[in-house]
Amino acid sequence: MIITLTANPALDKTIELGEPLAPGAVQRAVASHVQAAGKGVNVSRAIAAAGGATLAVLPGASTDPLVTALAHDQLAHRNLPIAEALRTNTTLTDPDGTTTKINEPGPALDAQQLAELGELVAEEAAGASWLVMAGSLPPGVPAGFYAQLTAKLRAALGAKCPKIAVDTSGAPLLELFAHGQQHIPDLVKPNAEELAQLAGCYSEAALEGSIELAAGCAQQLLDRGAGAVLATLGAQGALLVTKQGAWHGSHTPIIPRSTVGAGDSSLAGYLLADAAGASAPERLRNAVAYGAAATQLPGSTIPTESDLTAGAVTVSELTSTQGTES
């Protein structure tokens, strides 16, 4: 069982434009899509679509449109009832796949609600194989929420605590490494911008332009206590660095349609392969295949196994992850 926590879920509304976005102009959409989402929800969707056991945990009233959409889609979930409505995120996609995102802040959660959400996660996560904590945090929630919850779950669940993966950004991401070893997840999934922020060296463009630099930055996170790093690098594919080695995976060139949810799909692909007992290179191959498939689908559509082209993915082992002094 793979449990996901989405602390700040959203209805994802994607509007496909027939021409490039022109600020200040009136434009017509060629299509639009709405889906109950959020990073953890997206991971659960991909796992469920592949026949895997998963449960999405999130705040939201049972009558909220997002939660009712999950029920309609028959995605297994547990929601912590709150009074405020959940947010809507809007994405505009150009014909060439360029995306413009407008994310609402979401409802605030007070200390009691946060405690209850953590208790709900602990109840469901006991004995699971993985817990994924993903996405931004609601307004007012301490940046260290994911880090603190990681430590609390390990202390409370002991041997029944699942492996923990975190996919977030900004201050919540930095907080993962601001405390002790118990606060650091087993798997971190940054993109190039987030990896540069964590490592404190280079830029997003530099890391996407050099697999060696990106691998060196990922190795720094292992040196600081992370179990593994799955870094998505846009068109350059993805990188997996573990204590056993480092690998780079790339897909043959594709025509992107929407990048929304591609990183979530990559993480789901990795976890699905892990659940099947795959080796590290094969886990990376599946992650890249899922991410590439997601970019070729509209809006936040989650790929299924029939969308994958794993044979178009090349995985190569890296011989060194050192030499990243800025």
**Residues with active-site annotation:** 264
Q: Which of 13, 162, 227 is nearest to 100 (CA)?
A: 13
- Reported as type and span, the H/E element at residue 59 is strand 54-59
Question: For 201, which DSSP code?
Answer: S
The answer for residues whose C-beta is within 8 angstroms of residue 278's C-beta and 6 or more apart is 286
Find where tokens 């709900």 sit: 120
Tokens of 269: 């692909």
CB 212 within 8 A of CB 325: no
For 172, list phi and psi in degrees, rounded to 5: -60, -30
| CA dist., res. 182 & res. 121, Å (int) | 17
Question: For 191, which DSSP code?
Answer: B
> Can you tell me whether residue 319 is helix, strand or coil?
coil
Helices and strands counted in the chain (H then E):
10, 14
Ranges of H-type helices in 58-133: 65-72, 111-125
| CA dist., res. 12 & res. 37, Å (int) | 6
CA dihedral 279, 282, 287, 289 (to 10 degrees): -170
Find where tokens 């050192």 sit: 322
| CA dist., res. 204 & res. 215, Å (int) | 13
Other Cβ atoms within 10 Å of 222 Cβ, number:
17
